[in-house]
Amino acid sequence: MNEQTLGLTLVQKRSRVRYTTLTMLVIASAVALADRANLSIAGSAMSAQLGITPIQLGYLFSAFSWAYVLAQLPAGWMLDRFGAIRVYGIALCLWSVITLAQGFMGLGPVGWVVTGLFVMRFIMGLVEAPLSPGNSSITASWFPVAERGTATSIYNSAQYIAVLVFVPCMGILVHKAGWEWVFWVMGGLGVLLAVVWARTMHNPVQHPGVNALELEHLRDGGANVDGGSARPQGSKLRLADLKLFLGSRQMLGIYLGQYCLASMQYFFLTWFPIYLVKGRGMNIIDVGFVAMLPAIAGFIGGILGGVISDRLTRHGYSLSVARKVPFVTGLLLSSSVLFCNFVDSTYVIVALMTLALFGKGLAAVNFALVADTAPRHLVGLAGGLFNLFGSLSGIVTPIVIGYALQATGSFTEALWFVAAHGVIGAVSYLCVVGKIRPLEAPRDNV
């Protein structure tokens, strides 16, 4: 083979930089979700040491989401205005520093611990707001439509990776070293990851490792290869852009579905470990390892949901069928958490939670709808608005469960509350969303 033929062969081989980019999204998302869940792992020890009540703990769990909701639209606008890669990287560094700082809260007066932690969790919610819309924006830039369902499901699987990798480690840290070390270790890890992000992450047209064939593959497949870059100086958040989304019945149905799906997520991120400790008498180390089985099922469900959706698309089914089938099936399966109220066996309870989390993973394909439906210049804003509705669940669910636990001393009503969301979300997609299709922005908005 001569040099010219060898060179032609190398040029014709498409690079696969998009998979490296996806790997970074998974790792960053796993660290972020572990940072959200660390309070649930440390919660029992903190409550015993500092005298925190269930209602106070519920508000602490929700503090992150209060800020997360408020910051979603500004975060989406910032992603579109300044570039998703840059904003995401800065956010990663900042939320990691705040996570590290939470470990020092126990050194102050006991009376100020709850207030101090609430403020720190609130600030972390503000800073972490670009995470989900940033994932959607970067995925829209790096993956064609036919691969987007799988890519979306893979980065959404980070929440289960967080449980598999970090939760057992955090449980051991709490037991062996104290609850403070959970925050110190996770915060330090996040800062190191932010350095790696800054050195390796780029937009498709600017990445030194991407070749012309991969860029052509992305463009031909509908990827928004230029969408991750900063927009002109005059770009601003406009009321007309919000009306485009909030005036659509399709989008309102999708937002309701996301709210319901997120209720299950926030139950697992906040109260689930405490449910196993206080409701079922397990110790915190066992909880860390028991939680791995539902997380594995959720990971499998998450990947399977994207694979099913993309396969349906490639076989000629409409986008509506491809996205709705795994979502509706998954949410109905997630409602099986209700049956934990009627059994006493820990093994059966873990099996039911495993089935519920598998269903939740299957339904996570709905995140692909951000890129599927949004105008190309508004993907960041669309992701922020989508995540805003999910984050509302992060406020409501922990607080409602906290009050129910304080009033009744059991998790019975809490599980009814969470299970109902699965049914409501499925009905929303079947009866409200209608045919899924891209929104068209008015010409003067483009």
State how far Cα 329 lies from the chain centre: 20
Per residue in 214-250, pLDDT (tens digit) is 888 888 888 777 655 555 544 566 777 888 888 889 9
281, with CB counted inside 10 A (0-12, 13-18, 19+), is exposed
**CB of 318 within 8 A of CB of 84?**
no
pLDDT of residue 316: 82
Task: Note whether residue 228 is domain-resident.
Answer: no
Q: Assign 108 to helix, strand or coil.
A: coil
Instruction: Give the Cα separation of 399 and 57 in Å (integer).
Output: 8
Task: Note whether residue 200 is domain-resident.
Answer: yes
Where residue 217 sits, what CATH number does that domain have? 1.20.1250.20
**CB-based contacts of 369, cutoff 8 Å, min separation 6:** 254, 323, 386, 436
pLDDT of residue 382: 81
Q: Which one has a higher pLDDT value, 372 or 109?
A: 372
**CB of 275 within 8 A of CB of 129?**
no
Mean per-residue pLDDT over the chain, rounded: 82
Q: Which one has a higher pLDDT value, 8 or 76?
A: 76
Task: Note whether residue 7 is domain-resident.
Answer: no
Task: Note whether residue 8 is domain-resident.
Answer: no
pLDDT of residue 443: 55
Give the pLDDT band of residue 441 (cuts 50, 70, 90). low
Task: Note whether residue 12 is domain-resident.
Answer: no
Which amino acid belongs to residue 186? M
Q: For the chain, what is the domain count?
A: 1
Domain that holds residue 179: 17-223+235-445
Task: Note whether residue 192 is domain-resident.
Answer: yes
Question: Length of the chain in residues, anyone?
Answer: 446
| Ordered DSSP codes for 371-431 | HHHS-GGGHHHHHHHHHHHHHHHHHHHHHHHHHHHHHHSSSHHHHHHHHHHHHHHHHHHHH
Lookup result for tokens 């031909």: 220
Instruction: Give the Cα separation of 260 and 360 in Å (integer).
Output: 10
**CB-based contacts of 416, cutoff 8 Å, min separation 6:** 338, 341
Helix axis angle, 84-102 to 54-82, nearest 10°: 160
Residue 446 pLDDT exceeds 60: no
Query: Which tokens belong to 325?
Result: 């089938």
Task: Report in angstroms the alpha-carbon separations of 159 from 94, 256, 297, 331.
Answer: 20, 21, 12, 17
Residue 7 pLDDT exceeds 60: no
Task: Note whether residue 413 is domain-resident.
Answer: yes
Per residue in 54-84, pLDDT (tens digit) is 778 778 878 887 888 888 888 888 888 888 8
Instruction: Give the Cα separation of 121 and 273 in Å (integer).
Output: 19
